[in-house]
Structure 1
Amino acid sequence: MTTVPTITLNDGRQMPQLGFGVFQVPDDGAQAAVEAALAAGYRSIDTASIYGNEAGVGRAIAASGLPREELFVTTKLWIDALERDAVRPALEASLERLGLNAVDLYLIHWPAPASDRYLGAWQGLEAARDAGLAASIGVSNFLPEHLERVVALGGTVPAVNQVELHPALQNCATQEANTRLGIATEAWSPLAQSAVLGEAAVVNAAAAHGVTPAQAVLRWHLQQGRIVIPKSVTPERIAANLDVFGFELSAEELAAIDALERDGRTGPHPADFNG
C-alpha cells in the first residue's frame, strides 16, 4: 500500500499531500470511483456541495469499512450560502449527505467578490469549526486580495487555499501570498484537463523516468510542496495517479515544466466568477 506524505497545516493538523477529487463525477458514479480510490490507497477525498455527489462519496466511505480517523474528507460551501448564518445549515446538509459527523476540511468554494459576502461566510466557518463540524477550515479560488481581507479580520488564517494550478497556469502571485501567510496551496485541475500532457518538457521527463506524462506532472506538483487532487473514474488511472513516489524529477526537469507557464486557465477567473 502506498504511503502518502502529509503536509502540516497551520493549525497543526496533517493533510495527505495527494488526494482524490470527484469534480464532474455524477452521484451514481461517485461511489464506484471513490471505492476504487480507497482500494488503491487514497485516504483524502475532495468533494463539494455543488458537485451533487456528496451522497455517493458517503456511500463509498461507509462501504469501505475504513476507520474514520484514517480518512481526510473535504467539502465546500457554495456561493448561495455565503452568509455567516447560512454556513452551519449548509455544512449540516453536506454532513448528512456524506453520512459524517464532521469533515476534516471545509472550504469556501469561491469568493464571489461582487457580493462581498465572503468575510461573513468566513466567520461562519470559524463558528462551524468551533462547534466541531469541521476540524480545519480554508478557502478555494481566493486571490491575494481576498486572502488579505480574511486575514485582516484578525481571526483564523485559512489552513488551505485550493486553486486552479498546473504547468500552464501556475498562479504564482497566489502561491506567493499563500506562502507568506502560512496557507497551504492545493491544486485543482492539476493536469490542466490533460492539456499539458503532450508538452515536450512533460513527455521528456516522463520518458526519462519510465512513467506517464500525468505521473510526471503530479510529481512536479509534489516536489514543489503543493497538495494535489487528481480526478479520474478509471481504476487503472486512479491507481497510476497515486504511484508517483518511486522517482524524483531533476532540477532541470522541474525548471522545464515551470517554463510552460502561460494563461492556460481551464476554469473561471476568481475575480470575475460570482455564481
Structure 2
Amino acid sequence: MSTFSPTVTLNNGVVMPQLGFGVFQVPDDETTAAVASALEAGYRSVDTAAVYGNERGVGRALASSGVPREELFVTTKLWNDDQGYDATLRAFDASLDKLGLEYTDLYLIHWPTPARDRYVDSYRALEKLLADGRTRTIGVSNFQPAHLERLVAETGVVPVLNQVELHPGLQQRELRATHAALGIATEAWSPLAQGALLKEDALTTLAERHDRSPAQIVLRWHLQSGNIVIPKSVTPARIRENLDVFGFTLSDEDMAAVDALDRGLRTGPHPDELN
C-alpha cells in the first residue's frame, strides 16, 4: 500500500488506502495518462466503473506502472442494466477482461435502482465472486439505509463499504450513522462537490490559515471524519496536490467550521430516483 495514505481496515479484514484516485468522467484515452500520473505520485487505490467506459485505460496504466499487483487496490462497479444474478456474473467477467486483471480488490453495485428490484440477486452474485476469490471484497454504492438493511437481512453478508456522494455541502449524517451501526465503511464520491464549495468563506479562511488550497482543506476534513475519499483530476499538479494532505491537521474548531456547510447540496441524482 502507498506510504502516503493512511489505511482503513474493512469489516472482512482487508486493508484499503483511505485516499484513492477516481476516474469518473475521464475519457478512456485520457485515463491511462491520468492513472499513470496518480500511481507515480504515490496513489495505490484506483476507482473506476463499467459505465465510465475507461476500464481499459485504467488497465493499461496498471500494466505499465511497474507497481506490484499486491500493492494496488482496484475498484470497479456493476452498471444498472446488468443487474440480476447471471447478468452480474457476465458483467464482472467483462470488467475484469477490460482491466486486464485476475481479480478486483472491490466490486460494487453502482446504484440500488429500487424500481428494478434486482439488487439482492445482484449481491448474491457478488457473494459468489467473493467466495470464488475473484474479488477480495464486495460492497455497494449510492444505497440508502433501507436498501442496506434489506440487503443485510436477506443475505446476512454486510457490504464492506457504501460509496456515496458526500462532501461538506452534503454530509449524509443519517446514512453515516447507519454505516457505523452495521460496520460499513463510508466512501465519498464527488468529495469536492465538483468545486461548487471551494469559494466558501469558511474554506478559503482555513486554506489561508493552513497555507493550503480549499480543496486540500476539504480532503483533510474527509480524512479526519473517517471517510474514504477518491478525488479525481487529470492535471498532474492537482493529482499531486490532492495527495499532499497529510502534513497538517484541522483543529476541532476548524472541523466544526466545515461541518457547518452542510445544506443538502447534491451534484448527482438522488438514489431513490435513478433507475
Distance 2:89 2:57 in 1: 21
Task: For 1:261, give the aligned amino acid.
Answer: D
**Structure 1, unaligned runs of 5 or more:** none
Contact 1:104 1:136 in 2 (8 A): yes
- Tell me if structure 2 keeps the 8 A contact 1:19–1:45: yes
TM-score, normalised via structure 1 length: 0.98
Partner of 1:271: 272
Contact 1:81 1:87 (C-alpha < 8 Å) held by counterparts:
yes
Give structure 1 regions of 4+ aligned residues with deviation exceeding 3 angstroms.
none
Q: Counterparts in 2 of 1:24-43, with a 5 A limit?
A: 24-43=25-44
Note the alpha carbon deviations across 1:203-233, whole angstroms, 9 max, x for none. Answer: 1111111100000000000001110000000
Q: Residues 156-179 of structure 1: CA distance to partner in whole angstroms, max 9, x if unpaired? A: 100010000000011111111111
**Partner of residue 68, structure 1:** 69
In the alignment, the residues of structure 2 paired with residue 133 and residue 109 of structure 1 have an alpha-carbon distance, to the nearest angstrom, of 18
Q: Distance in 2 between matches of 1:17 and 1:82?
A: 28
SS at match of 2:271: coil
Report the counterpart of residue 170 of structure 1 in structure 2: 171
Secondary structure of the equivalent of 1:7?
Answer: strand
* Alignment correspondent of 1:82: 83
Instruction: Quote the residue 2:243 is aligned against.
Output: 242
- CA distance in structure 2 between the aligned counterparts of 1:154 and 1:64, rounded to whole angstroms: 38
Q: Superposed, which structure 2 residues align to 1:56-205 within 5 Å?
A: 56-205=57-206
Task: Give the % identical residues.
Answer: 63
Range that drifts further, 188-197 or 80-89: 80-89
Alpha-carbon displacement from aligned partner over 1:105-154 (angstroms, at most 9, x marks no partner): 00000000111110111101001111111100000000000000001014
Alignment RMSD, CA only? Answer: 0.8
**Partner Cα separation in structure 1 for residue 45 and residue 218 of structure 2:** 19
Give the match for residue 8 of structure 1.
9
The Cα shift of 1:2 comes to: 4.8
Count of residue pairs brought into register by the alignment = 274
The one-letter amino acid paired with 1:243 is D
What is the alpha-carbon distance in structure 1 between the residues aligned to residue 216 and residue 46 of structure 2?
19
SS in 1 for 2:262: coil
- Once the two structures are TM-superposed, the CA of residue 155 in structure 1 deviates from its matched residue by 2.5
**Higher deviation after alignment, 148-157 or 111-120:** 148-157
- Between the aligned partners of 1:221 and 1:204, the Cα distance in structure 2 is 18
* Conserved? CA contact 1:189–1:230, under 8 Å: yes
Q: Distance in 2 between matches of 1:154 and 1:71?
A: 29
Q: Which moved more, 1:137-146 or 1:171-180?
A: 171-180
User: Is the Cα contact below 8 Å between 2:46 and 2:75 reproduced in 1?
Assistant: yes
Distance in 1, Cα, partners of 2:127 & 2:210? 44
Counterpart in the other structure of 2:54: 53
Preserved contact between residue 36 and residue 235 of structure 1 (Cα < 8 Å): yes
Q: Tell whether 2:230 aligns with 1:218.
A: no
> 1:235: how far off?
0.2
* C-alpha contact (below 8 Å) 1:2/1:243 kept by paired residues: no
C-alpha distance in 2 between matches for 1:203 and 1:232: 20
C-alpha displacement at 1:3, in angstroms? 2.1
Do the aligned residues in 2 keep the contact of 1:2 with 1:242 (CA within 8 Å)? Answer: no
Alpha carbons 1:17, 1:222 under 8 Å: kept: yes
Amino acid at match of 1:177: T
8 Å contact 2:55–2:99 — kept in the other structure? yes
Matched residue type, 2:245: V
Q: Distance in 2 between matches of 1:154 and 1:161?
A: 16
**Take 2:223 and 2:124, find their aligned partners in 1: how far apart are those partners?**
31
